[in-house]
């Protein structure tokens, strides 16, 4: 999973049947607060807005965000918004845990 900032929406007049009714977002992947230069198109499942930070799930994780449980192998999804981030709180030790 990666953190990203919503840059905008990808508009499509036609979508494959599994994507109908879903919005596609253009996301800038983040490293800390700075963008990495990587841009991802992801399926929006939570109505994220421009400027918000989100958590992106990839591959089978993205399919499970869209259609949880078994039987989702045919779902066409490489990336999906799994969470809208309200805030982050660094631990002060680089996220390495206690001890």
- Report the relative pairing of strands 79-85 and 23-31 from DSSP bridges: unpaired
| Structural fold of domain 2-85 | OB fold (Dihydrolipoamide Acetyltransferase, E2P) (2.40.50)
Nearest to 78 by CA among 56, 58, 52, 98: 58
Domain ranges of the chain: 2-85
Considering the entire predicted model, what is its pTM? 0.80
pLDDT tens profile 18-71 = 777 889 999 999 998 899 999 999 999 899 999 999 999 998 888 888 878 787
Question: Which tens digits make up the pLDDT trace of 71-98?
Answer: 777 777 889 999 999 988 777 766 555 5
């Amino acid at each position: 999973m990666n953190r990203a900032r919503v840059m905008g929406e990808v508009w499509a007049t036609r979508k494959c049947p599994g994507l109908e009714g879903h919005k596609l977002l253009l996301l800038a992947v983040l490293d800390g607060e700075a963008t990495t230069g990587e841009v991802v198109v992801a399926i929006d499942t939570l109505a994220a807005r421009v400027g918000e930070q989100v958590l992106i799930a990839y591959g089978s994780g993205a399919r499970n965000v869209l259609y949880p449980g078994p039987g989702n192998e045919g779902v066409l999804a490489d990336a999906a918004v799994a969470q809208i981030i309200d805030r982050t709180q660094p631990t002060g030790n680089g996220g390495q845990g206690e001890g």
